[in-house]
Chain A
Amino acid sequence: MPSVAVIPARNESRTIGQIVKKVLNYVDEVIVVDDGSADNTSNEAEKAGAFIVKHAINLGKGAALKTGCDFATRRRATSIVVMDADGQHMPQDIPKFLNKLKEYDVVIGYRSYGQTMPVVFRIGNRIIELASLVLFGLHVRDTQCGFRAFRSSVYQKLRWKSPDYSVESEMIARISKKRLKYVQIPIETIYADKYKGTTILDGIKIVFNMVRWRVLRSI
Protein backbone atom coordinates (compact mmCIF):
# COMPACT_ATOMS: atom_id res chain seq x y z
CA MET A 1 0.00 0.00 0.00
CA PRO A 2 1.97 3.03 -1.18
CA SER A 3 0.29 6.16 0.23
CA VAL A 4 -1.89 6.69 3.28
CA ALA A 5 -3.46 9.83 4.72
CA VAL A 6 -3.73 9.97 8.51
CA ILE A 7 -6.34 12.37 9.84
CA PRO A 8 -6.75 12.80 13.61
CA ALA A 9 -10.27 13.97 14.41
CA ARG A 10 -12.34 14.93 17.38
CA ASN A 11 -15.95 16.03 17.04
CA GLU A 12 -15.63 16.76 13.31
CA SER A 13 -18.75 14.97 12.06
CA ARG A 14 -19.70 18.09 10.09
CA THR A 15 -16.63 18.07 7.84
CA ILE A 16 -14.95 14.67 8.04
CA GLY A 17 -17.12 12.89 5.46
CA GLN A 18 -16.43 15.42 2.68
CA ILE A 19 -12.72 15.55 3.51
CA VAL A 20 -12.32 11.76 3.42
CA LYS A 21 -14.10 11.53 0.05
CA LYS A 22 -11.84 14.22 -1.45
CA VAL A 23 -8.64 12.81 0.06
CA LEU A 24 -9.39 9.33 -1.30
CA ASN A 25 -8.92 10.79 -4.78
CA TYR A 26 -5.22 11.27 -4.04
CA VAL A 27 -4.13 8.46 -1.69
CA ASP A 28 -4.65 4.70 -1.47
CA GLU A 29 -6.19 4.69 1.99
CA VAL A 30 -7.42 7.19 4.56
CA ILE A 31 -7.06 6.41 8.25
CA VAL A 32 -9.15 8.57 10.55
CA VAL A 33 -8.17 8.42 14.20
CA ASP A 34 -11.21 9.28 16.28
CA ASP A 35 -9.74 10.84 19.40
CA GLY A 36 -12.64 10.42 21.82
CA SER A 37 -15.34 12.18 19.81
CA ALA A 38 -18.76 12.69 21.38
CA ASP A 39 -20.48 12.99 17.99
CA ASN A 40 -20.73 10.85 14.85
CA THR A 41 -17.23 11.50 13.54
CA SER A 42 -16.36 7.78 13.22
CA ASN A 43 -19.58 6.85 11.43
CA GLU A 44 -19.35 9.76 8.99
CA ALA A 45 -15.72 8.98 8.20
CA GLU A 46 -16.40 5.28 7.77
CA LYS A 47 -19.39 5.94 5.47
CA ALA A 48 -17.10 8.11 3.34
CA GLY A 49 -14.61 5.26 2.97
CA ALA A 50 -12.04 5.84 5.69
CA PHE A 51 -10.58 3.21 7.96
CA ILE A 52 -11.30 4.08 11.59
CA VAL A 53 -9.02 3.73 14.58
CA LYS A 54 -10.80 4.83 17.71
CA HIS A 55 -9.39 6.05 21.02
CA ALA A 56 -11.59 5.19 24.00
CA ILE A 57 -10.80 8.60 25.54
CA ASN A 58 -9.38 11.85 24.22
CA LEU A 59 -5.58 11.81 24.33
CA GLY A 60 -4.62 14.79 22.18
CA LYS A 61 -3.53 15.47 18.61
CA GLY A 62 0.01 14.12 19.00
CA ALA A 63 -1.18 10.81 20.45
CA ALA A 64 -3.88 10.45 17.77
CA LEU A 65 -1.36 11.13 14.99
CA LYS A 66 1.03 8.58 16.47
CA THR A 67 -1.70 5.94 16.61
CA GLY A 68 -2.60 6.63 12.98
CA CYS A 69 1.00 6.55 11.78
CA ASP A 70 1.79 3.38 13.78
CA PHE A 71 -1.22 1.77 12.17
CA ALA A 72 -0.25 3.02 8.70
CA THR A 73 3.24 1.51 9.01
CA ARG A 74 1.69 -1.79 10.11
CA ARG A 75 -0.39 -1.57 6.93
CA ARG A 76 2.91 -1.23 5.02
CA ALA A 77 2.35 2.30 3.74
CA THR A 78 5.39 3.80 2.04
CA SER A 79 4.25 7.44 2.19
CA ILE A 80 2.24 9.00 4.97
CA VAL A 81 0.39 12.29 4.64
CA VAL A 82 -0.96 13.89 7.81
CA MET A 83 -3.58 16.61 7.78
CA ASP A 84 -6.31 18.22 9.84
CA ALA A 85 -9.95 17.15 9.91
CA ASP A 86 -11.56 20.57 10.01
CA GLY A 87 -11.39 21.36 6.30
CA GLN A 88 -8.51 23.79 6.75
CA HIS A 89 -6.25 21.89 4.36
CA MET A 90 -7.02 21.38 0.68
CA PRO A 91 -6.83 17.71 -0.39
CA GLN A 92 -5.84 18.80 -3.90
CA ASP A 93 -2.46 19.84 -2.42
CA ILE A 94 -1.65 16.20 -1.59
CA PRO A 95 -0.04 15.34 -4.95
CA LYS A 96 2.47 18.18 -4.38
CA PHE A 97 3.51 16.53 -1.09
CA LEU A 98 3.77 13.04 -2.59
CA ASN A 99 5.79 14.36 -5.50
CA LYS A 100 8.35 15.99 -3.22
CA LEU A 101 8.68 12.78 -1.20
CA LYS A 102 10.51 11.26 -4.17
CA GLU A 103 13.59 13.31 -3.22
CA TYR A 104 12.98 14.44 0.38
CA ASP A 105 12.32 12.57 3.63
CA VAL A 106 9.81 15.09 5.01
CA VAL A 107 7.61 17.69 3.33
CA ILE A 108 6.13 20.45 5.47
CA GLY A 109 3.37 22.73 4.25
CA TYR A 110 3.26 26.41 5.14
CA ARG A 111 0.36 28.80 5.14
CA SER A 112 0.67 32.37 4.00
CA TYR A 113 0.51 34.92 6.79
CA GLY A 114 -2.12 36.80 4.87
CA GLN A 115 -5.24 38.52 6.06
CA THR A 116 -7.16 35.24 6.48
CA MET A 117 -4.92 33.98 9.29
CA PRO A 118 -6.16 35.27 12.66
CA VAL A 119 -3.78 37.84 14.23
CA VAL A 120 -3.15 35.79 17.33
CA PHE A 121 -2.09 32.81 15.21
CA ARG A 122 0.21 35.00 13.13
CA ILE A 123 2.00 36.40 16.16
CA GLY A 124 2.19 33.03 17.87
CA ASN A 125 3.54 31.36 14.75
CA ARG A 126 6.28 33.98 14.37
CA ILE A 127 7.38 33.46 17.95
CA ILE A 128 7.54 29.69 17.54
CA GLU A 129 9.38 30.08 14.23
CA LEU A 130 11.98 32.19 15.95
CA ALA A 131 12.29 29.65 18.75
CA SER A 132 12.86 26.87 16.16
CA LEU A 133 15.60 28.87 14.49
CA VAL A 134 17.38 29.76 17.72
CA LEU A 135 17.04 26.37 19.41
CA PHE A 136 17.35 23.92 16.51
CA GLY A 137 18.96 25.95 13.73
CA LEU A 138 16.10 25.25 11.32
CA HIS A 139 14.36 28.05 9.51
CA VAL A 140 10.88 26.59 9.14
CA ARG A 141 8.00 28.80 8.13
CA ASP A 142 4.70 28.18 9.89
CA THR A 143 5.97 25.54 12.33
CA GLN A 144 2.44 24.75 13.50
CA CYS A 145 1.07 23.79 10.08
CA GLY A 146 -0.28 20.27 10.43
CA PHE A 147 -0.24 19.45 6.72
CA ARG A 148 2.86 17.30 6.26
CA ALA A 149 4.10 14.16 4.60
CA PHE A 150 6.98 11.82 5.23
CA ARG A 151 8.34 8.50 4.05
CA SER A 152 7.48 5.52 6.24
CA SER A 153 11.16 4.63 6.27
CA VAL A 154 11.95 7.72 8.38
CA TYR A 155 8.91 7.45 10.66
CA GLN A 156 10.83 5.73 13.48
CA LYS A 157 13.32 8.62 13.50
CA LEU A 158 10.48 11.15 13.53
CA ARG A 159 8.24 9.32 15.99
CA TRP A 160 7.33 11.82 18.68
CA LYS A 161 6.51 11.70 22.37
CA SER A 162 4.25 14.77 22.59
CA PRO A 163 0.59 13.80 23.00
CA ASP A 164 -0.69 17.32 22.33
CA TYR A 165 -0.21 20.28 19.96
CA SER A 166 3.54 20.25 20.63
CA VAL A 167 3.76 17.39 18.09
CA GLU A 168 4.39 19.78 15.19
CA SER A 169 7.32 21.46 16.92
CA GLU A 170 8.71 18.17 18.15
CA MET A 171 8.74 16.85 14.58
CA ILE A 172 10.82 19.85 13.55
CA ALA A 173 13.19 19.30 16.46
CA ARG A 174 13.60 15.65 15.41
CA ILE A 175 14.17 16.61 11.76
CA SER A 176 17.05 18.75 13.00
CA LYS A 177 18.44 16.13 15.40
CA LYS A 178 18.24 13.24 12.92
CA ARG A 179 19.38 15.44 10.00
CA LEU A 180 16.49 14.44 7.79
CA LYS A 181 16.10 15.98 4.34
CA TYR A 182 13.11 18.25 4.32
CA VAL A 183 11.43 20.80 2.08
CA GLN A 184 8.58 23.22 2.50
CA ILE A 185 5.75 23.88 0.07
CA PRO A 186 3.07 26.58 0.16
CA ILE A 187 -0.51 25.49 0.77
CA GLU A 188 -3.93 27.10 0.67
CA THR A 189 -5.79 27.37 3.96
CA ILE A 190 -9.29 28.21 5.07
CA TYR A 191 -9.92 29.39 8.64
CA ALA A 192 -13.48 28.40 9.38
CA ASP A 193 -13.25 28.76 13.14
CA LYS A 194 -10.92 31.42 14.54
CA TYR A 195 -11.04 29.96 18.03
CA LYS A 196 -10.27 26.36 17.24
CA GLY A 197 -6.85 24.79 17.45
CA THR A 198 -3.91 26.00 19.48
CA THR A 199 -4.56 28.68 22.07
CA ILE A 200 -2.15 31.19 23.58
CA LEU A 201 -1.61 28.81 26.49
CA ASP A 202 -0.79 26.00 24.04
CA GLY A 203 1.69 28.34 22.36
CA ILE A 204 3.43 29.09 25.65
CA LYS A 205 3.57 25.38 26.41
CA ILE A 206 5.02 24.65 22.96
CA VAL A 207 7.85 27.16 23.39
CA PHE A 208 8.51 25.87 26.90
CA ASN A 209 8.69 22.30 25.55
CA MET A 210 11.09 23.36 22.78
CA VAL A 211 13.43 24.90 25.32
CA ARG A 212 13.19 21.77 27.46
CA TRP A 213 13.99 19.45 24.52
CA ARG A 214 17.00 21.56 23.63
CA VAL A 215 18.38 21.98 27.13
CA LEU A 216 17.75 18.45 28.34
CA ARG A 217 18.42 16.86 24.90
CA SER A 218 15.41 14.70 25.70
CA ILE A 219 14.39 13.99 22.10
Chain B
Amino acid sequence: MDRMMAWLPAGEVDWDAAYKDQLPRVYNYLRFRIGNETDAEELTSRTFEKAWRSRNLYRRDLAGFSTWLFTIAQNLAIDHLRSRRSHLPLEAALDVVTLQTPHDDAERDSDLTRLAALMRHLSQRDQEIVALKYGADLTNRDIARLTGLSESNVGTLLHRAVRELRSGWESRETRHER
Protein backbone atom coordinates (compact mmCIF):
# COMPACT_ATOMS: atom_id res chain seq x y z
CA MET B 1 0.00 0.00 0.00
CA ASP B 2 2.76 2.42 0.79
CA ARG B 3 5.04 1.12 -1.94
CA MET B 4 5.24 4.55 -3.49
CA MET B 5 6.60 5.84 -0.22
CA ALA B 6 9.42 3.35 -0.01
CA TRP B 7 11.97 5.47 -1.83
CA LEU B 8 11.05 8.75 -0.26
CA PRO B 9 12.97 10.24 2.65
CA ALA B 10 11.15 10.00 5.96
CA GLY B 11 8.58 12.75 6.27
CA GLU B 12 8.45 13.55 2.55
CA VAL B 13 5.20 12.93 0.71
CA ASP B 14 4.85 13.15 -3.05
CA TRP B 15 1.43 14.70 -3.08
CA ASP B 16 0.87 14.31 -6.79
CA ALA B 17 1.58 10.62 -6.56
CA ALA B 18 -0.44 10.32 -3.38
CA TYR B 19 -3.39 12.00 -5.01
CA LYS B 20 -3.23 9.77 -8.04
CA ASP B 21 -2.88 6.58 -6.02
CA GLN B 22 -5.25 7.28 -3.16
CA LEU B 23 -8.07 9.22 -4.79
CA PRO B 24 -9.77 6.15 -6.31
CA ARG B 25 -9.43 4.28 -3.04
CA VAL B 26 -10.81 7.03 -0.85
CA TYR B 27 -13.54 7.82 -3.36
CA ASN B 28 -14.74 4.25 -3.61
CA TYR B 29 -14.41 3.63 0.12
CA LEU B 30 -16.77 6.53 0.69
CA ARG B 31 -19.10 5.36 -2.07
CA PHE B 32 -19.41 1.98 -0.42
CA ARG B 33 -19.70 3.47 3.03
CA ILE B 34 -22.15 6.28 2.37
CA GLY B 35 -24.05 4.71 -0.52
CA ASN B 36 -24.51 7.99 -2.31
CA GLU B 37 -22.40 9.39 -5.15
CA THR B 38 -22.81 13.07 -4.39
CA ASP B 39 -22.03 12.75 -0.72
CA ALA B 40 -19.10 10.47 -1.47
CA GLU B 41 -17.60 13.08 -3.79
CA GLU B 42 -18.03 15.81 -1.21
CA LEU B 43 -16.48 13.77 1.56
CA THR B 44 -13.63 12.76 -0.72
CA SER B 45 -12.90 16.42 -1.34
CA ARG B 46 -12.96 17.15 2.35
CA THR B 47 -10.67 14.23 3.08
CA PHE B 48 -7.97 15.47 0.76
CA GLU B 49 -8.38 19.08 1.81
CA LYS B 50 -7.97 18.16 5.46
CA ALA B 51 -5.03 15.94 4.67
CA TRP B 52 -3.40 18.75 2.77
CA ARG B 53 -3.93 21.26 5.56
CA SER B 54 -2.66 18.83 8.18
CA ARG B 55 0.25 17.57 6.12
CA ASN B 56 2.80 19.17 8.43
CA LEU B 57 1.41 17.13 11.28
CA TYR B 58 1.69 13.80 9.50
CA ARG B 59 4.30 11.62 11.14
CA ARG B 60 5.49 8.70 9.14
CA ASP B 61 6.77 6.91 12.23
CA LEU B 62 3.28 6.82 13.69
CA ALA B 63 1.26 5.63 10.72
CA GLY B 64 1.57 4.86 7.05
CA PHE B 65 0.34 7.62 4.80
CA SER B 66 -2.72 5.77 3.57
CA THR B 67 -3.57 4.68 7.11
CA TRP B 68 -3.46 8.32 8.12
CA LEU B 69 -5.52 9.36 5.12
CA PHE B 70 -8.14 6.70 5.72
CA THR B 71 -8.40 7.67 9.35
CA ILE B 72 -9.45 11.10 8.15
CA ALA B 73 -11.93 9.55 5.74
CA GLN B 74 -13.32 7.24 8.41
CA ASN B 75 -13.93 10.06 10.84
CA LEU B 76 -15.62 12.15 8.19
CA ALA B 77 -17.83 9.21 7.25
CA ILE B 78 -18.77 8.55 10.87
CA ASP B 79 -19.61 12.19 11.51
CA HIS B 80 -21.59 12.40 8.29
CA LEU B 81 -23.61 9.28 9.03
CA ARG B 82 -24.22 10.31 12.63
CA SER B 83 -25.37 13.77 11.63
CA ARG B 84 -27.95 12.23 9.34
CA ARG B 85 -29.45 10.05 12.06
CA SER B 86 -32.24 11.19 14.38
CA HIS B 87 -31.01 11.62 17.90
CA LEU B 88 -32.26 8.75 19.99
CA PRO B 89 -32.18 8.10 23.73
CA LEU B 90 -29.17 6.10 24.81
CA GLU B 91 -30.92 2.79 25.46
CA ALA B 92 -32.68 2.96 22.12
CA ALA B 93 -29.46 3.89 20.36
CA LEU B 94 -27.83 0.67 21.51
CA ASP B 95 -30.43 -1.34 19.63
CA VAL B 96 -31.11 1.03 16.78
CA VAL B 97 -31.30 -0.06 13.16
CA THR B 98 -29.68 2.25 10.65
CA LEU B 99 -32.21 4.62 9.18
CA GLN B 100 -32.73 4.57 5.50
CA THR B 101 -30.92 7.34 3.65
CA PRO B 102 -32.58 9.38 0.94
CA HIS B 103 -32.02 8.12 -2.62
CA ASP B 104 -31.10 10.03 -5.69
CA ASP B 105 -33.80 9.06 -8.19
CA ALA B 106 -31.27 8.86 -10.97
CA GLU B 107 -29.31 6.20 -9.09
CA ARG B 108 -32.26 4.14 -8.05
CA ASP B 109 -31.43 1.20 -10.22
CA SER B 110 -27.68 1.51 -10.08
CA ASP B 111 -25.46 -1.11 -8.58
CA LEU B 112 -24.38 1.29 -5.87
CA THR B 113 -27.93 1.89 -4.76
CA ARG B 114 -28.61 -1.80 -4.82
CA LEU B 115 -25.48 -2.48 -2.79
CA ALA B 116 -26.27 0.30 -0.33
CA ALA B 117 -29.66 -1.25 0.36
CA LEU B 118 -28.04 -4.62 1.05
CA MET B 119 -25.26 -3.12 3.15
CA ARG B 120 -27.75 -1.58 5.55
CA HIS B 121 -28.57 -5.04 6.79
CA LEU B 122 -25.01 -5.55 7.90
CA SER B 123 -23.65 -4.28 11.19
CA GLN B 124 -21.75 -1.01 11.09
CA ARG B 125 -18.52 -2.85 11.69
CA ASP B 126 -19.15 -5.20 8.76
CA GLN B 127 -20.15 -2.30 6.52
CA GLU B 128 -16.88 -0.61 7.39
CA ILE B 129 -14.83 -3.70 6.62
CA VAL B 130 -16.58 -4.31 3.29
CA ALA B 131 -16.08 -0.67 2.31
CA LEU B 132 -12.39 -0.85 3.15
CA LYS B 133 -11.91 -4.14 1.33
CA TYR B 134 -13.90 -3.59 -1.84
CA GLY B 135 -14.12 0.17 -1.98
CA ALA B 136 -10.67 1.11 -0.82
CA ASP B 137 -9.14 -2.13 -2.14
CA LEU B 138 -7.12 -2.64 1.03
CA THR B 139 -5.59 -5.88 2.21
CA ASN B 140 -6.87 -7.65 5.30
CA ARG B 141 -3.74 -6.62 7.10
CA ASP B 142 -4.31 -2.95 6.34
CA ILE B 143 -7.94 -3.27 7.38
CA ALA B 144 -6.87 -4.87 10.65
CA ARG B 145 -4.53 -1.96 11.28
CA LEU B 146 -7.26 0.59 10.64
CA THR B 147 -9.97 -1.11 12.64
CA GLY B 148 -8.00 -2.53 15.54
CA LEU B 149 -9.23 -6.03 14.74
CA SER B 150 -7.00 -9.01 14.18
CA GLU B 151 -6.23 -10.01 10.63
CA SER B 152 -7.90 -13.39 11.04
CA ASN B 153 -10.98 -11.72 12.50
CA VAL B 154 -11.15 -9.44 9.50
CA GLY B 155 -11.04 -12.41 7.16
CA THR B 156 -13.80 -14.21 9.01
CA LEU B 157 -16.03 -11.16 9.17
CA LEU B 158 -15.48 -10.43 5.50
CA HIS B 159 -16.34 -13.95 4.50
CA ARG B 160 -19.65 -13.82 6.36
CA ALA B 161 -20.51 -10.35 5.14
CA VAL B 162 -19.82 -11.19 1.51
CA ARG B 163 -21.86 -14.34 1.76
CA GLU B 164 -24.82 -12.38 3.08
CA LEU B 165 -24.45 -9.67 0.46
CA ARG B 166 -24.17 -12.19 -2.34
CA SER B 167 -27.30 -13.93 -1.19
CA GLY B 168 -29.22 -10.68 -1.39
CA TRP B 169 -27.61 -9.66 -4.63
CA GLU B 170 -28.41 -12.90 -6.37
CA SER B 171 -31.97 -12.95 -5.20
CA ARG B 172 -32.31 -9.54 -6.89
CA GLU B 173 -34.41 -8.33 -4.06
CA THR B 174 -33.78 -5.32 -1.94
CA ARG B 175 -34.97 -5.82 1.60
CA HIS B 176 -36.54 -2.83 3.32
CA GLU B 177 -35.81 -1.35 6.72
CA ARG B 178 -37.89 -2.43 9.62
Is B a genuine binding partner of A?
no
